[in-house]
Structure 1
Amino acid sequence: MGIFSRFKTVVKSNVNDMISKAEDPQKMLNQLIIDMTEQYNNAKKEVASAIADEKKLKGALQEQELQVNKWAKKAELAVSKGDDNLALSALNRKKEHEELAAQYRTQWESQKAATDKLKNKLRELSNKIEEAKRKKGILVARAKRAEAQKSIQKTMGSLNDKGAFDAFDRMSEKVDRIENEADAEEELNEMMSGDDLEKQFEDLEKEDNSEAMDELAALKAKMAKDKE
């Protein structure tokens, strides 16, 4: 069972290290599956070695069982020939092989039980790796969606930032103030340069001209009435 304990230790160590350094989830998951597959292949070799040992023990058991049958037949042959001493020797040899066969059977059964468990564990491990491969696509898609969501939230945050617009409004107010100050300064300059006196006479002439126009209109109205 130490095979799979080492597998878990190595994979867990790799996972913790990769997660702490992860920047690209897809690359991390790809590398993780590569590491899992590599450890699986190593475990597979060790399981294969255990299976080979089991088959070797089974072969040794079968060989001892053949020897038991062989010497049983020899004992029968010696008895049929009336040679009890030879038959007894054959039976003693048969017993030796029976004892060896019993020992090999115990070892083989224990090895087979352990090997069967290893094969089941290896099969489960293979299924989990295949499941991880299938889940990888889902995890990558989730990671990409999360990154896209972060980007959207960042963009929304920048759109909600009114700092630039407030600065624009303040600049607009400043320009208005500068323009007003410039107009006021121009007005003051005109007043100080004497142009204001000329303007007063111009206004006065306009007022006189306006009175003449009114008088002309009244005259035309009177003449029109006299003709009637």
Structure 2
Amino acid sequence: MGIFSRLKTLISSNVNDIINKAENPEKMLNQLLIDMNTQLIESKKAVAMAIADEKKLERETANQEAQAQDWEKKAMLAVRAGKDDLAREALLRQQEYTNSSAEYRKQWEAQKASVDKLKESLRELQNKIEEASRKKNLLVARAKRAEAQQKIQNTISSVSGNRTAFDAFDRMAQKVDQMEAQADAAKELDDFSADNDLEKKFAELEKSDTSADMMLLELKEKMKALPGSTSE
């Protein structure tokens, strides 16, 4: 189980390092998946070696048991031949192989149990990596959306915090209002002046006509008083 402890420590270390330095979530997630799959390959190699050792112990256990059975047959053969001393030697060899096969069997069973756990852990790890791969696109989309929202919020905060720009805008609006008011006042004054000029012209014209009439009447009266004038 040590290989998975080392794998967990390595992945945790890589994750913390990448997250602390992360500026691009998509790049970070891709790198994490690359690291996980690399370690998965290494773990598969280690599990394969453990399986090979388990198979070797299994074969050796079977070989020791076969040797014990073979020496038992030899002891029986010696008994049938009336050679008890040779039978005893064969039985001693049988006992050695029986004891050895028992030790090998213990080692093989322990290794087999360990391999079964390693296989289960390997399957679990592979499932988690596959799940992480499926979630990657979703996480990237969420990260991009969060980044866009953050940029918008930063822009709003920046504009809201810059009162100088808003004050300048307000002052410009006031200036435009003033310019419009001045233009309206100038136009009104021009119209007023034009009306006054027209009235003045008509007044002068009326005055001019009245004076001429008076002068004409005066002239006619003066002419009547002259000698030799005839009355109308």
Question: Considering the TM-score relative to the shorter chain, is it more than 0.5?
Answer: yes
Q: Does 1:208 align with 2:204?
A: yes
Shift of 1:206: 2.5
Please give the TM-score of this superposition, normalised by the length of structure 2.
Answer: 0.74
Q: Distance in 1 between matches of 2:137 and 2:175?
A: 52
Q: Distance in 1 between matches of 2:28 and 2:198?
A: 89
Q: Percent identity?
A: 52
Change (3 A) 1:168 1:100: same
Q: Does 1:170 align with 2:174?
A: yes
Shift of 1:14: 0.8
Change (3 A) 1:86 1:201: closer
CA offsets 1:33-83 (integer angstroms, 9 cap, x no match): 000111111111111111111111111111101101111111111111111
What are the residue-to-residue correspondences of 1:1-12 with 2, within 5 Å? 1-12=1-12
Q: 2:52 maps to which residue? A: 52
Change (3 A) 1:177 1:99: same
* Structure ID, larger Rg: 2
Q: 1:111 maps to which residue? A: 111
Q: 2:122 maps to which residue? A: 122
Q: Distance in 2 between matches of 1:204 and 1:87?
A: 161
Q: 2:35 maps to which residue? A: 35
Q: Distance in 1 between matches of 2:197 and 2:128?
A: 104
Q: 1:191 maps to which residue? A: none
Q: 1:17 maps to which residue? A: 17
Change (3 A) 1:209 1:57: same
Q: 1:217 maps to which residue? A: none
Change (3 A) 1:202 1:110: closer
**Alignment gaps of 5+ in structure 2:** 210-232
Shift of 1:177: 7.7
Aligned length: 200
Q: 1:216 maps to which residue? A: none
Please give the TM-score of this superposition, normalised by the length of structure 1.
Answer: 0.75
